[in-house]
Structure 1
Amino acid sequence: MPFRLRQAGFTLLEILVVVMLIGLLTAVIASQGNWTLSEDGLDEEAARLYDTLELLNERSLFSGQLLALRLKSNGWVPLAYDRNERDFLPIDDASLKSRALAANLSLEWQVDSLEGDQVSLSDVAENLVKKDVMAAPEGLSDQADEDGSETRSEDERDDPLPQVFFFPSGEVTPVTLSMLSNDDLDRFQRWQISALGQVSDPDNADQEDNEGSVFEEAR
């Protein structure tokens, strides 16, 4: 039986086929990027806001610390109540950084009312800070005043109190936040956080009840 030598290398046709496949794969990857990233950045910023709300609620529960979120039309600032400073200070954590929105995006919010005659959680947090209930053990505030150390009153604060509070008990200031595209008024994303810390999309309430958060499924 004659011995046949195996062909070495690739034919021109095989090389062309490989090049075509690589080009097709590159085009698919590029187009996939266009599907997952929005041109105005609204989806990405809405996702960051969602994660911030969830993380603040979880961290407050596990750390036993009063946390907050200061909202601005062009972004937000996660805060933690500092017992020594007796004030809300930015959180020193890469996962909870202050966020500034691009010029084509804006943030709006509305604090939702609680059922019945329940006291506003914002009022509760403000009273806690004013009375220094969470600042130190009993008597420490009086001791500080007697020693002549400086304490910051409400009128001396550099910034007003934040709008959303996250209590270690699991309660949260109920609020609805809207991320808007200034270039397209029809594009927006809303998140609603309840008094029990549940974050949901109020525009897809029925679907979320049956299948969980639409945003969670998309991620």
Structure 2
Amino acid sequence: MPSCRTRQRGFTLIEILVVLVIVGVVLTFATLSVNPSGPGDRLDTESQRLFALAQTAADQAILSGHTVGLEVTEHGYRFIVLHQSGWKPITAGDSPLRPRRLDDDLYIDRLNAQGSHDANNEQAATLSLPVSPIAGPNPADAAEAAAANSDPNDDDRDQALAMPAALFLSSGELLPFTLEMSAKDVDHRFQIVGAPNGDIQRRRIDR
């Protein structure tokens, strides 16, 4: 009788690489989920988290075909997605891009091209993108925004709202940005720097 041979199929190189990437992402976020106690340790952990999430947002923009923005909030930061109807926040609890809250002694700021703190993304405002409807008013325009919001017939009231602090485009490019994270009574800080070609780096700055 003819013997039957069972063909055994192995894994391809691409399949192995995909698995390794998934394992690496899982291990990264598992490590970041540990809550260190000291402000210096928490600053290091949160800056690593922001760096990893910025890279995830860039990938998400490419995969979804939608521009993704990072918005600095009063107590942390969150990611928003640009749809035809405008900006919408990512709020799903199982998404890595869900809103993040920072401890009260941790701070995050956007730096302008001169390296000073900037509450508004002036470069983003030059694009044909709508202002974020979920952003808070710029500190310098708070009074103007309050007055505008008091008039429901004022169509220009949203112009006083802030633009996202960082924009990740579906083309794989991004608007240059520098986000600085610091902590009270800690002698160093971290900068998350994005280049136009999509490269994102994390830098430690000693005071």
Q: TM-score, normalised by structure 1?
A: 0.54
1:157 deviates by 7.4
Mark the runs of 5 or more structure 1 residues left unpaired by the alignment.
Answer: 1-35, 114-119, 131-152, 205-219
Counterparts of 2:163 and 2:156 in 1: how far apart (Å)?
9
Counterparts of 2:43 and 2:204 in 1: how far apart (Å)?
16
1:112 deviates by 3.8
**Paired position in structure 1 for 2:98:** 97
The code of the aligned residue for 2:189 comes to F
Matches within 5 A, 1:105-120: 105-112=106-113
Deviations 1:14-49 (A, max 9, x none): xxxxxxxxxxxxxxxxxxxxxx94612111111110
Counterparts of 1:196 and 1:43 in 2: how far apart (Å)?
26
Residue 61 (structure 2) pairs with residue 69 (structure 1): no
| Partner SS state of residue 169, structure 1 | coil
Deviations 1:160-201 (A, max 9, x none): 3212111111121211111101122x1312221111221113
- Asked if the contact 1:42–1:181 (Cα under 8 Å) also holds between the matched residues in 2, the reply is yes
Counterparts of 1:79 and 1:158 in 2: how far apart (Å)?
18
Aligned pairs, how many? 138
Counterparts of 2:126 and 2:66 in 1: how far apart (Å)?
15
**Greater per-residue helix proportion:** 1
2:164 to 162, 165, 183: 162
Deviations 1:40-85 (A, max 9, x none): 21111111101111011011011111110112464211000132xx
Counterparts of 2:204 and 2:179 in 1: how far apart (Å)?
12
Counterparts of 2:55 and 2:156 in 1: how far apart (Å)?
28
| Partner SS state of residue 201, structure 1 | strand
% identity of equivalent residues? 21
Higher gyration radius (CA): 1
1:90 deviates by 0.9
Deviations 1:92-121 (A, max 9, x none): 4421011121111111221448xxxxxx75
Aligned CA-pair RMSD: 2.9
Structure 1 stretches of 4+ with a deviation exceeding 6 A read none
Mark the runs of 5 or more structure 2 residues left unpaired by the alignment.
Answer: 1-34, 115-121, 132-154
